[in-house]
Structure 1
């Protein structure tokens, strides 16, 4: 039962049908279009079904490939060799790589050079391709969020969608991009509604600012963004008509979680303490009390005569007046008015430092970086690291280090599958695609259209839980087929990639371009390891069947003609697609 004093329901109760589970495990956010272009399936037809269970993989890749696929989006050509050059053994290499990735410099040349090149273009559309990403929060609010033109309102989020994939594909700081994805889903907002569509560059900046810092700082900064204040209705949380949406999700999703630490509609006095002497969990009354504390937290938007800037503002005249007694949220008691904004920050700091929050976030991080069923030992040790460093400025950095250097991270493989965005970005990296994804570009928009059909789209998940991360959510046939379409379309664009000619060294010489040699070369090039023999042999047989040749003989076509429309190039595109979409290659 909800307290009748409170208005509004949890956002999750209002969103039905946004995720549908099919019998094959398919998870989609919208119905699939019936008019899929047959041409997208013309070059590559899947040779195997999707893996449907979490059975042990046939192979475990070498550490370099394992790390780059789990703590990054996958290797680009040269990445495996660069990793292996970091030390004399696997332990030294991993430690050196983790240290590099945990200390990213301010520069990211591969991304920055691509953005800078657009500014030198003579095409007006290119000059405007990323014109919103560096605007201040107030500029975004004024120029875009408040605009009456829908294209102007949405231009910032459209650009950030593309920049997110661009960073994943080309950034040297791969761990940062993986962690950004993790935290965005932890603090999920829906990108296609007011004001988030116009404010997304600012939401992105504040999150990245705290990725390697202190969780309490990240939590408080997020609570003050216009995007979150509107998304979970706290802008409308006023006394004497409070709205509990944001208070509930902070407790259920952002800090303590709703599994171990939620006690339901019971007397808070009946809840015992945890091992740290803190109240063991929260109740419905704590939710209502926290909502009271949050009254008056809002956005400066002309209400009460405030300037229309979109900045965080505290409205004392709309804050709880203590007429019904103190605010009591678990172990925090606020007895009298006057604190105002600190009524909330005191609670947020308490929640950030609670051992239940440490447990919940440790479990989520281990689930993301290790597997869907991390052991109690690694979750507990990670929670202890999180809790013991709760006052440190580099708290999160050291928590990541703890997970990445654990034996479980180094040995676990295949318990998870790549989601569609990860599959597409991994393909871009493996094929070394030369593709500056941008707005107002037909190829970019076509790739994004196909990505939209997979059920995963940047900033496109409406419920506050963020996109699911568990294996069973993404291994259905629909998500795989639509991911295949996106990759196939991308590989067919001759302006993006010439798979036959982009590497002058190592590619089989003309007389050695047998089906066996081609498959072995591209497994090493695209994955950094060899697939199991049964899968490898099926890809070899695919080439043989296409050309009516023999596996040990040069393929029966002109392999000196490697142009984009040549038979050889079409074969290579098919082979790369088959390798990247094989069941083992989709594991992480």
Structure 2
């Protein structure tokens, strides 16, 4: 990506900032900085939007009010088909490979129309664009969660032919039942290609998928033996893919290993050459295992609550998971209702992809169908990579980490600062995107600067400006708190990017 240009600076030194005294009211509002004004999202609404959405926006606040409050909004979100989503649906045709079958994707690669690498990049872009504009925020968040749990790296050799359908498969199960999702995911060609099950046969069973199924996707380490891994691999033989020729997937009875198998408490004679019923029974057994329940409960708690969730929270969520036959939405309801979730406001750091999506949402930037490689809907992938990680590009099969430490390095923070400044300044990307003009951020020309900062906080962060952000904005832009911001003021003419960036660089935005 091009470097961010340096904006023109004034030739005269800025005035010394003089923020209002602590406890004073925000001019024009009668509201002390840091308190909620009528019409703003409640703290509970902000918390839900930051954990089960990609950040609060005025539009999301309106949707919560229209639903009857944040709790009713959340309940509606658990039935995504009931939520109209025209903007996100329109993106389906932005990249040709999103809906193409494996034959078409392979042919496009061979013809030089769209390489497999490009097809995977475009799938990642589609996911990012949906997260920015979709009204089905909970579905987007949970799809990302499951794609990281049942992770198939988009850069794995050969997966490009089946990876987008795999992602859409997980999307269809994201708020359904884990047992059904697990069966569909583990037997999918993309998973088979990624972990070598596509070439596993009865003569040479490959243990990669059989092992990762146990270690990563279900019960976890320490609960099975090496003999169990061998049986796990044998059960999964037969799911083949004709790699590097047609990429057709089929079940090959001649490749299925037959004979007695045992994995933990699951035992089966496995005498039939068609081992699909055995595989389904085995995967269902794993999905319903208490250790799987605890593992999924902990991963949900780490993503949505805190890096160190209590054992009681994990046990509570696991119990709900088992009591409801691996159904996902009851677990999410229990998580949201748990006191530990409600007490975890601001306890999580946004991942690089979270930051890109939340920033575009906060700025109200509108993506349009891409017409070139520099179009915003394409550039968002490079921006995500520059901060530290793009969707589903984590190279190992365990999925990208969700803890704060992994995304809190100085390098990552500085990369986020650069990204915020580039987008807030409307410097890059410029193509096929609509940004708000600087003057559009000023609701009342002539208003005081501290009132403008407060207004911007309500737009970008969903809350009134705390005094520390007013002070930071004064210092960053060299503006007095009591200055009148007219259409010809330096804030509107050249300093708006710095003002917006100051708010986006704050912990208020970088945490969720």
What TM-score does the superposition give when structure 2 sets the normalisation length?
0.85
CA 1:113–1:209: 2 relative to 1, 3 Å? closer
Q: CA deviation at 1:216?
A: 1.1
* Equivalent residue, structure 2, for 1:111: 88
CA 1:442–1:302: 2 relative to 1, 3 Å? closer
- How far apart, CA to CA, are the structure 2 residues paired with 1:74 and 1:481? 21
SS state at 2:506 partner: coil
SS state at 1:207 partner: helix
* Equivalent residue, structure 2, for 1:438: 370
Q: Does 1:420 align with 2:341?
A: no
TM-superposition CA deviations, 1:173-225 (whole Å, max 9, x none): 11111111111110111212333223332112111111111111101111122
| CA contact 1:40–1:485 (8 Å) conserved in 2 | no
Q: Does 1:398 align with 2:363?
A: no
Q: Does 1:63 align with 2:27?
A: no
Q: Does 1:73 align with 2:73?
A: no
- Alignment equivalent of 2:461, drawn from 512, 527, 551: 527
* Equivalent residue, structure 1, for 2:268: 334
Q: Does 1:572 align with 2:496?
A: yes
Map 1:133-148 to 2 at 5 A: 133-140=98-105, 142-144=106-108, 147=110
CA 1:42–1:461: 2 relative to 1, 3 Å? farther
- Alignment equivalent of 2:487, drawn from 534, 539, 560: 560
Q: CA deviation at 1:36?
A: 8.4
TM-superposition CA deviations, 1:11-55 (whole Å, max 9, x none): xxxxxxxxxxxxxxxxxxxxxxxx983637999xxxxxxxxxxxx
Q: CA deviation at 1:477?
A: 1.3
Q: Does 1:358 align with 2:293?
A: yes
CA 1:143–1:415: 2 relative to 1, 3 Å? same
Gaps of 5+ in 1: 1-34, 44-57, 88-92, 117-128, 263-280
| CA contact 1:451–1:483 (8 Å) conserved in 2 | no
- How far apart, CA to CA, are the structure 2 residues paired with 1:443 and 1:336? 53
Q: CA deviation at 1:168?
A: 0.7
Q: Does 1:463 align with 2:405?
A: no
- How far apart, CA to CA, are the structure 2 residues paired with 1:233 and 1:41? 52
| CA contact 2:476–2:502 (8 Å) conserved in 1 | no
- How far apart, CA to CA, are the structure 2 residues paired with 1:437 and 1:284? 50
Q: Does 1:299 align with 2:223?
A: no
- How far apart, CA to CA, are the structure 2 residues paired with 1:115 and 1:288? 41
Number of residues of Structure 1 aligned to a counterpart in Structure 2? 475
- How far apart, CA to CA, are the structure 2 residues paired with 1:41 and 1:342? 65
Q: CA deviation at 1:80?
A: 2.3
* Equivalent residue, structure 2, for 1:541: 475
Q: Does 1:175 align with 2:138?
A: yes
Map 1:39-58 to 2 at 5 A: 39=5
CA 1:523–1:137: 2 relative to 1, 3 Å? same
- Alignment equivalent of 2:256, drawn from 295, 301, 319: 319
SS state at 2:248 partner: strand
- Alignment equivalent of 2:310, drawn from 368, 375, 385: 375
Q: CA deviation at 1:300?
A: 4.4
- How far apart, CA to CA, are the structure 1 residues paired with 2:184 and 2:324? 19
Gaps of 5+ in 2: 10-33, 37-41
CA 1:519–1:584: 2 relative to 1, 3 Å? same
* Equivalent residue, structure 2, for 1:584: 508
TM-superposition CA deviations, 1:342-389 (whole Å, max 9, x none): 232221111011011011001111111111122222211110111111
- Alignment equivalent of 1:283, drawn from 201, 225, 246: 225
- Alignment equivalent of 1:101, drawn from 55, 77, 81: 77
Q: CA deviation at 1:302?
A: 9.3
* Equivalent residue, structure 2, for 1:166: 129
CA 1:214–1:522: 2 relative to 1, 3 Å? same
SS state at 1:478 partner: helix
- How far apart, CA to CA, are the structure 2 residues paired with 1:85 and 1:407? 26
CA 1:587–1:400: 2 relative to 1, 3 Å? same
Q: Does 1:498 align with 2:436?
A: yes
| CA contact 1:157–1:200 (8 Å) conserved in 2 | yes
CA 1:64–1:144: 2 relative to 1, 3 Å? same
- How far apart, CA to CA, are the structure 1 residues paired with 2:287 and 2:92? 37
- How far apart, CA to CA, are the structure 1 residues paired with 2:183 and 2:322? 17
- Alignment equivalent of 2:191, drawn from 201, 205, 228: 228
SS state at 2:438 partner: coil
Q: CA deviation at 1:316?
A: 2.3
- How far apart, CA to CA, are the structure 1 residues paired with 2:312 and 2:188? 36
Instruction: Name the Cα RMSD after superposition.
Output: 2.8
CA 1:150–1:231: 2 relative to 1, 3 Å? farther
Q: CA deviation at 1:501?
A: 4.3
* Equivalent residue, structure 1, for 2:210: 247
